[in-house]
Amino acid sequence: MSAKLRLVAKKDSVDVMVGDKLFTTYRFSAEWVRPYFYPVHAPDGRALTRGYPMDPKPGDQQDHPHHKSLWVAHGDINGTDIWSETTDKKTGKPKHGYQIAHGVKVVKGEGDCVAFAGSVDWVDVEKKKLMEETRTVTVSATDVGRLIELKLDFHASEGDVTFGDTKESGLCAVRLACSMNAKRDTRGETDAKGEGRIENSEGQVYERGEPSRPDVKGAEFVWGRRARWICFSGPVAGKPASVTLFDHPSNLRHPTYWHARGYGLCGANPFGTGHFENDKTKNGAHTVKHGGHLVLRYQVLFSDRVPSKDEIEKQFKKFAGSR
């Protein structure tokens, strides 16, 4: 019998335990620009997301400090960047917005699955509220690995909210352990040896730095493609591992576009139509009218092996049938 899951809620974080072992920690302290999960472990204990910038590991690529393990963000909310963490070069002042979490409530604290929820305000550079989000996190385990499900209920509480067309987004985003990268670090300074592989539900594959998108210069073949799911796999501590992201059929513009990069970033982005299709005549911006809601659901599967396509499809169908 598999070990039971349980939650350990603290002031600014929630630990998700499997038996007496830590699976992941959800961190929402005000010291961070936005909440995130770190670390995230495979069932055998290996860390599957990058340590930098929170806890840099030997071989970590030290780029994009806003890529914090597993998180939720978008680069254009009513014109405010709530994706990056940039500052004005002259003044040193932030140029980005924030997500302010107001604690969490444990929905189910122990069992085969556990869940918690909390309110998150999305605010601009001056901390003026743009919208409210109710974020519900459910964690469970399967024969293939461990699942984190995100249900994001965006409420246009302050007025109309427009999610702009930008590639800089991941409404469910992950930055993988660098040894899983599918694109080699040509400088040879990190563990990014290009031994990873990216494959999506449409059979499109990117590995060892190729092939590229024929229509978008410098983009990976899987970048900006629409798919029901996408799987990143590669070695971690010398053994196979994988991270698979799923888009729920009820989501806006399912199957979603994926901001999938060979250096280990992957984010679900239903709004980047013009960028991903390389067509300036198209605009994927979406407006939620004042008082309205937009609900998005995603799952992320963390495994200590590489599941077969049949196993991944089975999990997608199970997710698709859930409410």
The 3 state secondary structure assigned to 224-256 is CCECCEEEEEEEECCEEEEEEEEECCCCCCCCC
What's the pLDDT score for residue 1?
42
What's the pLDDT score for residue 190?
63
Q: Are 316 and 201 in contact (CB under 8 A)?
A: yes
Confidence band, pLDDT 50/70/90 cuts, at residue 194? confident
- How confident is the model over 261-275, as pLDDT tens digits? 999 999 999 999 999
- How confident is the model over 50-98, as pLDDT tens digits? 999 999 998 889 999 999 999 999 999 999 999 999 998 889 899 999 9
Among the residue ranges 90-104, 160-174, 190-204, 249-263, the one predicted with the least confidence is 190-204
Residue in 78, 74, 73, 35 with CA at minimum distance from that of residue 54: 35
Burial of 317 (0-12, 13-18, 19+ CB in 10 A): exposed
In the chain the domains, ranked by start, together with CATH numbers, are: 5-320 (2.70.98)
DSSP 212: B
Q: Is the peptide bond before 53 cis (omega within 30 degrees of 0)?
A: yes
Task: Return the ∠ at Cα 227 (arms to 172 and 177), rounded to 5°.
Answer: 45
Residue in 148, 133, 73, 90 with CA at minimum distance from that of residue 303: 148
- How confident is the model over 11-29, as pLDDT tens digits? 999 999 999 999 999 999 9
Q: Report the mean per-residue pLDDT for the chain.
A: 95
Q: Are 179 and 59 in contact (CB under 8 A)?
A: yes
For residue 140, pLDDT over 70 is answered with yes
Distance separating alpha carbons of residues 267 and 138, to the nearest angstrom:
19
What's the pLDDT score for residue 191?
56
Region 297-304: mean pLDDT is 98
For residue 185, pLDDT over 90 is answered with no
As separate numbers, helices (DSSP H) first and strands (DSSP E) second, the chain gives: 2, 22
Pairing of strands 197-200, 205-207: antiparallel
User: pLDDT > 70: what percent of the chain?
Assistant: 97
What's the pLDDT score for residue 193?
77
For residue 215, pLDDT over 70 is answered with yes
Confidence band, pLDDT 50/70/90 cuts, at residue 323? confident
Q: DSSP assignment of 145-177, as one string?
A: -EEEEEEEEEE--SS-EEE---SSEEEEEEEB-
